[in-house]
Amino acid sequence: MSLHDSRPARTGTVALLASFAALTVGLSGCSVVDELVYHQRSATFQTSADAPDSSVAHAGWVPKDASDIRIVESTRPDATNASILLSSASPLDPGICVEIDRQSGSTYSIEGAPDPYAAERVFTCGEWSVIPSEDGWFGWTPNSPDEQDQAPSRG
């Protein structure tokens, strides 16, 4: 190889770039991109028992029979933004939640969730606002301080 022959180096560079491109394309559908670029993460749990103790799947308002739990939440430190869509046949606990006029909306959307901005009324459950979904409930936090003030507890 002469000093001026750069084909092997170029071939290596092209291979490296091709590998990086493949990795980038492969990750584009993954949660890594969401976490790094959009500062959010998604999680799915069959039941709340499958979720870590720190998960919003254990929020006080979440019915005990909740299943097919889908969560989108912020990855930023000190952020509390989260949305949760779950299946449940149970009503919300009136000791935790009360129905009021909606004053907030979800930061995140989840496929299959109802449009929170189409809802005139919500259940306020502490720092959460919750509306009925097709098979259960769709909730988001934080809600407005006025909604929180009307909640029977901080569910």
Region 116-144: what's the mean pLDDT? 97
- My answer on whether 49 and 93 are in the same domain is yes
pTM: 0.76
Domain assignment of residue 155, yes or no? no
Identify the domain containing residue 122 by its residue range: 39-150
Residue 16, pLDDT above cutoff 50: no
Per-residue pLDDT reduced to its tens digit, 24-76: 444 445 555 555 555 789 999 999 999 999 999 999 999 999 999 999 999 88
- My answer on whether 88 and 129 are in the same domain is yes
- My answer on whether 3 and 48 are in the same domain is no
For residues 65 and 89, is the Cβ–Cβ distance under 8 A?
Answer: yes
- My answer on whether 59 and 91 are in the same domain is yes
- My answer on whether 47 and 34 are in the same domain is no
